[in-house]
Amino acid sequence: MHGWLGKIIDIDLSKGKITHLPIEPNAKKYLGGRGIASRIYWETVTPESKAFDPENRLIFMTGPLVATGAIAANRLSVVSKSPMANPEGYCYGNMGGFFGAELKKAGFDGIVITGRAPKPVYLLINDGEAEIRDASSLWGHGVYHVGEKLQRIHGDGVRFLTTGVAGEKLVRSGIIFGSHQSTSTAGFGAVMGSKNLKAIVARGSGKPNVADPTGLKELNRYALTLSKRIRLSIPPMITMTNHGHLMEVIGKGGCYQCGMECIKGFYRYGQKLEGYRRCQSMEYYLPWRYNRENEPIETLFDAPTLANDYSICTFELQNIIDWLYACHQEGATTEAETGLPLSKIGKREFLEKILHSIAYREGFGDILAEGLVRAKDKVSPSARRLFSNTIAPIGQNEMAPPRAIMANALLYPMEPRVHQPLIHEISFVRAAWGINRMQPGATPVTNSVFHAIAKAFWGSEEAGNLSSYEGKAQAVKNIQNRTYLKDSLGLCDFAWPICYSFNSPDGVGDPNLEARFFSCVTGMASDELIDCAERICIQQRAILLREGRKIPEADYPPEYNFTQPLQTTSHGQPVMVPGPGDEVVATSGKMLDRGKFKSMLKEYYFLRGWDEATGLPKPETLYNLELDDLAPLFYTGGGEKSA
């Protein structure tokens, strides 16, 4: 095989047994990453299983492009039943850095873990071999201590995944933390903790075979040249609150075999504090948002690593802290009721206290450890009224509001979580367009270029009128397919796709570049990717339906989108979007039109080959995609379908 190694590690921690699974026949149908992991989940995790049951699987899967030399192909997908989802259910995460590549260099495409070890353990993978080792000395420690100790034992070159105290204590928002500050949310760190699995360590010296090494080198050079784009290195909330001067980017993110433009970077805060930081985790705790303008810069710098060390999701933390601040301002809850120094929100003292309280499940922290969505039923009515529309079980709503960007009205609800990569494709291009509006010539993305990008990547120029309903069903299908493929091939979301470029004649990127990399590495025809994306999409829908998703109702965004006029984004800024031609549309005051949304949804079903009334894949669609085994679920009452 080219691109794949052909083997998956299969571990039963209850029995202490390690075997191997073949990657075929799934490789050619589901590629790898999220695709194969979702298929394995379908075959092994029952709807009745709970997230912390030993029977739940924790699945790590690379893609066929990872560790092949393909640029910015370093991603590892994680799939399991999520304790963070409400109700618990299938979910996925995605990690960059180095671990995925090291796993393939060690001879494996993925890892499937079931059972629960009788005592804390870690998994050591070394050049084709895997063994379970005692982790008693690692248990109870933060991720940075664990990483340093594992590197002392096994060498500086090893790569690792681990979780902190929050994962051990089954905090529902517990993350997995990996080498090079990579993370995966959805509560998968707590799933590790439930299995008494403290860490996974990988070291390898091998390399996957590539069908066309010379062609791959040429593609890498072309992609690197084309990837010249504006670097969105200062997160949006920091920029919009005029505090970008507090930090300076002094290096790139530096993940495995990547030199492309990225929002991960090496930063200097103030004059002396330096470290790798990334995106939202940099801005979940901004002291000045809580009237702490004079808080030492060390608090801002350390906030991401403090959360990582305990292993608590920073999206969840931002929702919690913003809500507590609103409660304190309105007198809806008190320091006596929570045991938290609410009057010191914005200061380091508060941050350290709330992190410790949640991670160790102490006092009110035990309620918050169950997740803010679940905590809603355990707080006073006055505190409950202050829950904002941005709060989601996993992630954060309204960062790219559906009432402003119509495609997102479909993209958000189709997933089991707020999945930022789906939203990024439009958002990154829109950000370049917005910068060009403020500073003409700063990026190549004018209105006309934006519409040209829409035609090339999203299916029509009309898709570039973000405030209209026309062309959005096709745009959503294209974006979903590209994201499912990206997650399954192992491509980095921050680097791919290349929608625009300073180095292309017309400013438009290359929508076929990922497919060319796939063919170059695997030797397979690029048009096979279309069916792979469709299979992955339907496989996910089958899982969600089996676990209780009600359709078509669940395919609608929350009701407030139809009843409450849009004010600002979750960042507090008005939303301006490209309109038709050279128009710029201000979206304040807009709501979704129910009739137009329903028509857009039906068009989407039609484009997918699904029944327009029920949202179920048609039998001929399943047959054409070789998914006949899913037909009983869709057509014999195996899922939650509405009349």
**In the chain, what are the domains?**
7-203 (3.60.9.10), 236-384 (1.10.569.10), 408-638 (1.10.599.10)
Name the average pLDDT for the chain: 95
Chain segment 316-333, per-residue pLDDT in tens: 999 999 999 999 999 999
> In a 3-state reduction of DSSP, which class is residue 79?
strand
Mean pLDDT along residues 208-229: 97
The predicted-structure confidence for 138-162, as pLDDT tens digits, reads as follows 999 999 999 999 999 999 999 999 9
Nearest to 109 by CA among 88, 121, 132, 125: 125
**Alpha carbon distance 38, 447 (integer Å):** 38
**For residues 454 and 254, what is the distance between their CA atoms, to the nearest angstrom?**
30
Please tell me whether residue 228 adopts helix, strand or coil conformation: coil
In this predicted structure, what is the pLDDT of residue 639? 52
What percent of the chain is predicted at pLDDT more than 90?
Answer: 90
State residue 642's pLDDT score. Answer: 45
Chain-centroid distance of CA 320 in Å reads 20
Triad 539, 544, 547: Cα angle to 5°: 125
Biggest CA pair distance of the chain: 67
pLDDT level of residue 571 (50, 70, 90 thresholds) = low
Concatenating the DSSP letter of every residue in 188-201 gives HHHHHHHTTEEEEE
Q: What stretches of 195-313 show up as alpha helix (H) in DSSP?
A: 213-226, 236-240, 297-310
Residue 58 contacts residue 78 (beta carbons within 8 Å): yes
Helical spans, DSSP H, in 360-463: 364-369, 372-375, 381-384, 408-411, 420-438, 447-453
pLDDT in tens, 37-90: 999 999 999 999 999 999 999 999 999 999 999 999 999 999 999 999 999 999
pTM for the structure as a whole: 0.96
Please give the Cα distance from 10 to 22 (Å, whole number).
10
